[in-house]
Amino acid sequence: MSYALMIHGGAGAIRAPERFAASLGRIVEAGADMLEAGAGALDVVARCVAMLEDDPLYNAGRGAVLNADGEAFCDASIMDGRTLSAGAVAGVRGPRNPVLLARLVMEKTQHVFLIGAGAERLGRQYGLAFEDESYFVTPEKRAQLARAKARHETSLDHAPTAHGKLGTVGAAALDRAGDLAAATSTGGLVNQMSGRVGDSPVIGAGVYADNASCAVSCTGVGEQFLRTSLARMAAFSVETQAMDAEAAARAAVAYLERKVQGSGGLIVVDRNARCGVAHTTPDMLFASAVDGRITIGAARR
């Protein structure tokens, strides 16, 4: 059976998108190699998102932006399309790979969503890698926050005025067994209020996977995705309206724009190994692999 993988590195007005090509290519190739060898979709999206979290180019893990208090808090989620099992964490500080903490929630607890200290305690219990503050809070991040404070704004990292090089990350995959999975990870918005949570860790808003339809990962202004349950909407379009991945992605962002003037985008991998990407922003970073055929690019609107 065919396999398919998509990853994304955020949406916005992206300057010099070619800077991201080597990173996106390395990561999508690693995931494709795993799928080629028979790995499950869940392992692949976890690995790809963890690699994206390790790269400071993106707003997740090591590259997470700072909130209004000058701290880096991360959110992440993961979902198994075979069983509809899911795990999510929000407001965590210190885990090197928040997506792996989300997977621990899914596999080691009876819950779906843990926040803050409780989630961090679970990670330490199972030996998850943690980093100190200096790993996340760099001089560049402090300067980025200072610019946002001076403008009295919060922003996507790829916003034209953000002077950033970052973006929320995600992955969606179909494996050779026909199973789908998706994962999303973020550091949120620059200068966001302490305690704010966006769509990335919310099942059905920033992430969704169901073998009956597709796997979805979103990126953008989380409040708008929360209000439209966008990931679930894309999956519903595939399942009930016979849309392929591309049509479902386009329908979802059209709804996002029409209903809430939303800013962002999403990637979709459907049960037939078709890939789709759509966005309301000027650009979106993505890469895909379908049966060894790799595409790397910054989709332009």
Q: Which value, to the nearest 10 degrees, does the dihedral of the CA atoms of residues 105, 68, 153, 21 take?
A: -50
Of 83, 109, 154, 168, which is the active-site residue? 168
CB 56 within 8 A of CB 62: yes
What is d(CA 254, CA 73) in angstroms, rounded to the nearest whole number? Answer: 31
What is d(CA 47, CA 112) in angstroms, rounded to the nearest whole number? Answer: 20
Catalytic site includes residue 228:
no
Q: Which amino acids are annotated catalytic? A: 168
